[in-house]
Amino acid sequence: MTIANAFAFGVRIRIVVFFFCFNALLYMSFSILRDDWRRLAAYHLYPSTSNVTSDDLGSDTVASNIVENVASSTVTSDLSPKPQFAGKANATLVFLARNSDLQGVLRSMESVETHFNHKFGYPWILLNEEEFTEEFQESVKSKTNASVQFGLIPSRHWYQPDWIDEAKAEQGRNALKAWNVIYADSVSYRNMCRFNSGFFFHHPLLQPYRYYWRIEPDVDYFCQLQYDPFDYLKDNNKTYGFTIAIEELEKTVSTLWQAVKEFMEQYPEYIHPNNALAFLSDNGGETYNLCHFWSNFEIADMDFWRGEAYTKFFEFLDLKGGFYYERWGDAPIHSIAAALFLDKNQLHFFNDIGYQHSNIVHCPQQPAFLTGSCTCNRVLSIDYRRYSCLPRYNKMLNRKW
């Protein structure tokens, strides 16, 4: 090749590289503009001045047996333009809270609305063992265009049952206190754990719904969810979705696994042949490795909790008294049931939902991080750190990540 030919060849290569880079830049700019436009459109198409009736939420979300005092909390106006929400699943956002949780409730609602629900308009249900104040109800309603209902929890679903031996329960609380276990001496915390384990899905307001997303005060969401997670569960035959899997404090569940083993012996028919026992135990079920899905975030199918296996399981455990004699949490109870009674493929890790509760974060790795325009710090994600049970979950499913 002569020098002149080599020079011409070099120029051609540069021209080709230039056009390639130019086209790539053009495509990236177009994609960014298109996504921005979509986001803008999403915000502007759904005006913030009106509330939505149950008719707007699709026929399968109509609350047919709404309790009277609760229905009055949903305001509708025929004059206002109606938001065009996309969510059509038979699903609701469930929030257990106290009046004193108001600021944390508003913060969490804002995060859920911004990252998901402003597009989908799923109804909110807030539950409390005491009446919510007017201030609480008004503030909550101002945070969403979707319908909001406030429900009172029946006393029998909340308070420590009479058949619990209070002297033994007190001993249990003192023992945990001596170990500096968080919420060691709180009876209300135990009421809450028992209610979340065995009763929330029986509340009259929740009866019309099948799927729920559990929200807690002061949680943060970091990624724009581009799809409907309820539809995802339904379309993919999934039952229980989580974002964080970690180890439980051993002192709070000292005798839980013994009770679970008794249940398994007594009711082998409920144990799924393709279960997720490997997530719960590292020795084939002899001992519990303390792994559980963190239940402050749950997107799941309430029909599973309402079904025969879970009903028997909860009743069996409740009679052991461990909610009060120890401090059994709803997270290990839900997780153990889901892992044992379901096919392991019915569990779902919502990797693309960036989430934080207290100081624990799940932040998606690439490419979900980019797809969701996530604002969390991936370096802080709990996924592969100490106490995370995600590696066990992945190993069980023969997944690397």
Ligand X SMILES: Nc1nc2c(ncn2[C@@H]2O[C@H](COP(=O)(O)OP(=O)(O)OP(=O)(O)O)[C@@H](O)[C@H]2O)c(=O)[nH]1
Active site residues: 298
| CA dist., res. 168 & res. 280, Å (int) | 28
- Strand segments, DSSP code E, in 208-277 are 211-215, 220-221, 240-242, 245-247
| CA dist., res. 355 & res. 376, Å (int) | 8
Site for ligand X in 338-357 (CB under 6 A): none
Residue nearest to ligand X (CB): 188
Give the range of 59-67, 188-196, 259-267, 276-284 binding ligand X by CB under 6 A.
Answer: 188-196
The one among 57, 93, 94, 97 contacting ligand X by CB under 6 A: 97
Residue 143 CB, shortest distance to ligand X, in Å, is 16
Region label for 146, one of left (φ > 0), alpha (ψ between -120 and 50) or beta (otherwise): beta
Other beta carbons within 10 angstroms of residue 277's beta carbon come to 16
| Beta strand 148-152 pairing with 347-349 | unpaired
Residue 91 CB, shortest distance to ligand X, in Å, is 18
Which residue's CB is nearer to ligand X, number 348 or number 357?
357
Contact string 7-46 vs ligand X (x = CB under 6 A): ----------------------------------------
| CA dist., res. 267 & res. 270, Å (int) | 6
Which residue's CB is nearer to ligand X, number 70 or number 342?
70
Residue 330 lies near ligand X (rule: CB under 6 A): no
Contact string 288-307 vs ligand X (x = CB under 6 A): --------x-----------
Closest to 46 measured CA to CA, from 96, 6, 87: 87
The one among 98, 234, 344, 378 contacting ligand X by CB under 6 A: 98
Which residue's CB is nearer to Mg ion, number 52 or number 382?
382
The option from ligand X, Mg ion, none interacting with 101 (CB < 5 to 8 A, set by class) reads: ligand X
The one among 110, 129, 185, 247 contacting ligand X by CB under 6 A: 129
| SS3 at position 139 | helix
Site for Mg ion in 25-64 (CB under 5 A): none
Which residue's CB is nearer to ligand X, number 157 or number 344?
157
Q: Which residues does 253 contact at the CB level (< 8 Å), separation at least 6?
A: 288, 290, 322, 326, 327, 328, 329, 332
The option from ligand X, Mg ion, none interacting with 98 (CB < 5 to 8 A, set by class) reads: ligand X
| Beta strand 245-247 pairing with 347-349 | unpaired
| SS3 at position 134 | helix
The option from Mg ion, ligand X, none interacting with 97 (CB < 5 to 8 A, set by class) reads: ligand X
Contact string 265-304 vs Mg ion (x = CB under 5 A): -------------------------------x--------
- What pairs with residue 126 in β-bridges? 95, 150
| SS3 at position 123 | coil
CB 124 within 8 A of CB 147: yes
Residue 217 lies near ligand X (rule: CB under 6 A): yes
Other beta carbons within 10 angstroms of residue 181's beta carbon come to 17
Residue 220 lies near Mg ion (rule: CB under 5 A): no
The one among 110, 129, 170, 216 contacting Mg ion by CB under 5 A: 216
Site residues for ligand X per CB under 6 A = 96-98, 101, 128-129, 188-189, 192, 216-217, 296, 358
